[in-house]
Homo-oligomer: A and B are copies of this chain.
Amino acid sequence: MSTDEFRAKALAWLQQNAKPFDDNEPSSGGATIEESKAFQKGLWEAGLAGITWPKEYGGQGLGTAEQLAFNEVAANFRMPVGPFVIGLGMPAPVLLEFGTEAQKKRHIEPMLKGDEIWSQLFSEPSGGSDVASLQTSATKVEDGWLINGQKVWTSGAQFSDFGAVLVRTDPTRPKHQGITMFIVDLHHPGVTVRPLVVATGDAPFNEVFFDDVHVPDDAVIGEVNNGWSVAVAMLRYERVTIGTGVRARANPLGYDALVELVRARGLDGDASVRRTLAQVYAKESAMRSYSAVLHQEAKAGVPIGARGSAAKLAGATFPLWVSDLVQDIFGEELALQNADTLPLTRSILAAPGGATAGGSNEIQRNIIAERVLGLPKDAGVDKNIPFNQLKLSK
């Protein structure tokens, strides 16, 4: 099948099975988990899931050309695949890269078919930007390991079947060297998932508690005490996922949404409001152009390196900046939260969380300074000290 034929096949299937994309609705279209599972299964059955993945594990064994063709076509449809984005974006490619034959055989196809939903469990309350300081532990027992501790900021844990969980297996080694990644059955009775309510009042994440959760020896992804390099690989996939994800829902702090509200209030005659909107448009437009530059460079084989951090930083600071500007424009109305301004205030409150997720602004600035500009690295006092001698947050 030529790429064009593949594209036509994808288009035909999507036209039959998916709704056209609508900027004004969430891309998931509010689908239930069951609906999402059915959609994913349909995708796989149509040969449209795991396009570039090996056939032996349930993939289609096709090339990048087909993947790009699919992405192009799919951008115009509402894809209720939210529950699978993490699993297929991060744990699955990591399993393909580091997993045992048995692990790949066991998990990849069920993930592609929508039968298994996966989460990624790295972050801990005391860790923050310093993921490698994680304290959740796995203690060796006769027939495997016992996991105890807490993870946080876990998306989708409430409906996930498995998690890729990063834990400390040897606290006497320096912090990066005593970490292991496990496959954990999240239905284990020792696992408690609790929704995490954030500043907006929503609960988009979970806290996950592990209380003597037993995992067998063959649940290790990669090698024992070599989990950090597996985690680094997974975070690399995370960046790709974030960077090339499905078109986001129209941003209430973006130009399009703001200009509509401004017009509805007749504020577009005010010169300073118009100038503010111009500034918002300019920055947003430049972010789009920069993203296009990076994509074109990647396609042309120019390494992107750490420059994605500049896109992340710009994307994180944009809503924080617009948050101030909208107060000048909408004034009192923002304090009262009517149907019009609720999306705005929700986005304002969510912006600091968005800036923190995936690495704080400070971390991004360090990455840009060190890896793009080549400035010397932060002193890094903790690299070679045994973990159990390190100072940690309480």
Question: In the docked arrangement, what's the CA distance between A271 and B275, Å?
Answer: 13
The reply to whether the CB of A272 lies closer than 8 angstroms to some CB of chain B is yes
Question: In the docked arrangement, what's the CA distance between A228 and B211, Å?
Answer: 58
Copies in the complex: 2
The reply to whether the CB of A379 lies closer than 8 angstroms to some CB of chain B is yes
Say what secondary structure dominates the interface of chain A.
helix
Chain A, range 344-394, C-beta contacts under 8 Å to B? 379, 381
Shortest Cβ distance from residue A174 to the other chain B in the assembled complex, whole angstroms: 19
Shortest Cβ distance from residue A48 to the other chain B in the assembled complex, whole angstroms: 52
| Number of residues of chain A lying within 8 A (CB) of chain B | 5
Chain A, range 264-287, C-beta contacts under 8 Å to B? 271-272, 275
- Name the one of B272, B379, B381 contacting A272, with C-beta atoms under 8 angstroms: B272
6 interchain pairs, CB-CB under 8 A: A271-B271, A271-B272, A272-B272, A272-B275, A379-B379, A379-B381
Across the two chains, which residue of chain B brings its CB closest to A379? B379
Interface residues of A (CB under 8 A from B): 271-272, 275, 379, 381
Question: In the docked arrangement, what's the CA distance between A212 and B275, Å?
Answer: 62
Across the two chains, which residue of chain B brings its CB closest to A328? B275
Contacts of A272 in B (CB 8 A): 271-272, 275
Contacts of A381 in B (CB 8 A): 379
Shortest Cβ distance from residue A111 to the other chain B in the assembled complex, whole angstroms: 46
Contacts of A379 in B (CB 8 A): 379, 381
Question: In the docked arrangement, what's the CA distance between A272 and B275, Å?
Answer: 10
Question: In the docked arrangement, what's the CA distance between A381 and B381, Å?
Answer: 12
Contacts of A275 in B (CB 8 A): 272
Question: In the docked arrangement, what's the CA distance between A272 and B272, Å?
Answer: 7
Question: In the docked arrangement, what's the CA distance between A275 and B272, Å?
Answer: 10
Question: In the docked arrangement, what's the CA distance between A271 and B273, Å?
Answer: 12
Contacts of A271 in B (CB 8 A): 271-272
Across the two chains, which residue of chain B brings its CB closest to A272? B272
